[in-house]
Structures are given as C-alpha cells and as structure tokens.
Amino acid sequence: MSFDLTKAIMHLRSHAKTSKPYGQCAAYVKKALAAGGLPYISGVDGFGVGKAYEKYGYRRVNLKQNGKNFVGAAPGDICSIATNVRIGGKCQGYSKDGEIYPGHACMYDGKKWISDFVQGNCIPYSLGSVKWARVWRWKDTPGDFKVPDDDNSYGGGSSGESGSGSGESGGVTRYVYKEQYPVHSEYVTYSGNGGNIFEKAE
C-alpha cells in the first residue's frame, strides 16, 4: 500500500488547533494518515490508533521514554496512550484489550507532537495518569527522513475542520495540561469547569 508520510504530516500540521485540544485526537491522527494514503479506521480510540494501523504497515518500536517524551522519535511516528483514570465515556473499540478509557493519540512531525492541537510534549498530561505510552513507526521510514521545517505551516483553526494561519504571528502557541488537571476527556467541554486547565508550554 502506498503511503506518503510528508502528505500525512503536512495535513496534520495544517489542521491542528493552536490553542487547546478538542477531544478529537484520534480523528485528527487518522485523517492525517488518510491524507497520506492509508484507510481511515472508524471506531478506534486514541489508545488503539497505533495498534489498528499495524495491518497497514506501522510497526511498534521500543523507544526510551524520557519524562513526557521519547528519545529517537522519527517523523510520522504515532504515540498511543492509555490512561488509568476515568476521563469520561466508554471506548468505541478494542475493549477486548481491557481498556475502558479512550486515552490519547498523537503524531510526531519531526520536532513537535501533534493531535488535534500542537502539544508541548508527547504525553500532554500528568505521568501519574498514564497506564502506558507506546510508539509505532511506518515500516518504510528512511533513517534521514525530514519534513520541511516551517512553523507557519501549522493551522490555527478553532473548532472547525480546516485551519489557516497560526496562533501567534510568525509561529505557533503550544499548550499543555496543568499538572493539577491530569487528563482530558474525549467527551467533556472545558468552558465553565472552574478555570483554565491549560498553560503555555515552555
């Protein structure tokens, strides 16, 4: 099956929100993969994205975890994360694996991890909330593969599907979850919940 990593990454960049997540991490990663030529797999939550794409050519890789990031990540890598605390709702699929929370999915573009927003780290919430975090890589990723490095290619959409421009002039504003709010929900909105749960990344 033909797959264009560059197209997938550029799609993810251009559609990513620059302010905060919108509970659509899995959908955004899967749509990026579809833009590159792979099928869009419905009914798969964040924690199941990497595993679901094994049948199309993604392979699990064992990378050293350093805090909230992974050493040696390559462009196009997918990270799926399972959480050990309730974040609302039931899983859409892969319940046979024993996961009952949707978790999170993101893709690395060569310098940033992206889902439905541009993340500050691969794991965007408290490590104490993480059951496991695993990385998958496209089987034909060249060792020296790079995608054009341009902050202006990152989208700036709000809640819509498309985005253009950036969160700040000449670049992108990255946000992470404050430590006192360890996870995000695929099903919860953030207005009126007692305060802003995001802060700018370092």
Q: What is the pLDDT of residues 162-183, one digit of tens each?
A: 332 222 223 334 444 444 333 3
Q: Which residue range forms the structural domain that includes residue 96?
A: 5-143+164-200
**Lookup result for tokens 């993810």:** 12
Q: How far apart are CA 143 and CA 171, in angstroms?
A: 27
Q: How confident is the model at residue 141 (pLDDT cuts 50, 70, 90)?
A: confident
State pTM to two decimals: 0.72
92 pLDDT exceeds 70?
Answer: no
CATH at residue 63 = 3.90.1720.10
What's the pLDDT score for residue 140? 84
Please give the tally of structural domains in the chain.
Answer: 1
Inside any domain, residue 152: no
Higher-pLDDT residue of 152 and 5 is 5
Inside any domain, residue 150: no
